[in-house]
Amino acid sequence: AQSVTQPDIHITVSEGASLELRCNYSYGATPYLFWYVQSPGQGLQLLLKYFSGDTLVQGIKGFEAEFKRSQSSFNLRKPSVHWSDAAEYFCAVGGVSGGGADGLTFGKGTHLIIQP
Amino acid sequence: ETGVTQTPRHLVMGMTNKKSLKCEQHLGHNAMYWYKQSAKKPLELMFVYSLEERVENNSVPSRFSPECPNSSHLFLHLHTLQPEDSALYLCASSQESSGTYTQYFGPGTRLTVL
């Protein structure tokens, strides 16, 4: 079965500093990969997604992610974080069943704290 | 209304109550999902509906009963719940024919079982 690992439970970054959140997946083929963000008391908002093609994908709010097949990774990056980026970030895998409607498999999330 | 909406946003119920969670998507999608988000655990897929037919049920206890009357609405009927069922319940939708598996989530219902 597919799985998603986010090795960092918490990350603290100073405002204005760069950010990288790690995500590794376990699946035989190239899955569909997603990053979502969840603010306190809110649902999940899609940041970006990867299906095929260019391995560097751009998302909303200045985020980007790079797919590296050799490392089974899909790390999320941002060059300069803002206090409003403080939230929970989830990496997810989908499309593995081959069916049209397919549930996503999520990592446990990384809690991002921004220091002033 | 836009996107995916869920009502109520908060619900407190006793173990013997019966209640329902409602989800509505305004995106023209044809697949809908229920997820459970508990503290310190990954989001768990509960149910998948495609074209109003249930296509997946991830071994969810029978005290949770989903209903999808049309492609825009999804319900989760609750009865005889346990305190460990307290969680954030998230609804999502996607367009199955798009082949992108991209799901859009509602804000969730925070459920507390006393």
At A48-87, the pLDDT tens digits run 999 888 899 999 999 999 999 999 999 999 999 999 999 9
Give the separation between CA B78 and CA B111, rounded to whole angstroms: 10
pLDDT at B1: 65
Q: How many CA atoms lie within 13 A of A97 on its CB side?
A: 12
Please answer whether residues A38 and A30 qualify as being in contact, where contact means their C-beta atoms are separated by less than 8 angstroms: no
At B57-76, the pLDDT tens digits run 778 999 999 999 999 999 99
Averaged pLDDT score across all residues of chain A: 91
Q: Using a CB-CB distance cutoff of 8 angstroms, which residues of chain A are in contact with residue B94?
A: 101
pLDDT of A96 > 70? The answer is no
Which of the residues B21, B25, B44, B101 would you substitute to probe the A interface, choosing the one with the greatest number of A C-beta atoms within 10 Å?
B101
Which of the residues A23, A30, A42, A102 would you substitute to probe the B interface, choosing the one with the greatest number of B C-beta atoms within 10 Å?
A102
Chain B, nearest residue to A39 by Cα: B107
Closest by CA to B10, choosing from B64, B86, B65, is B86
More confidently predicted of A47 and B1: A47
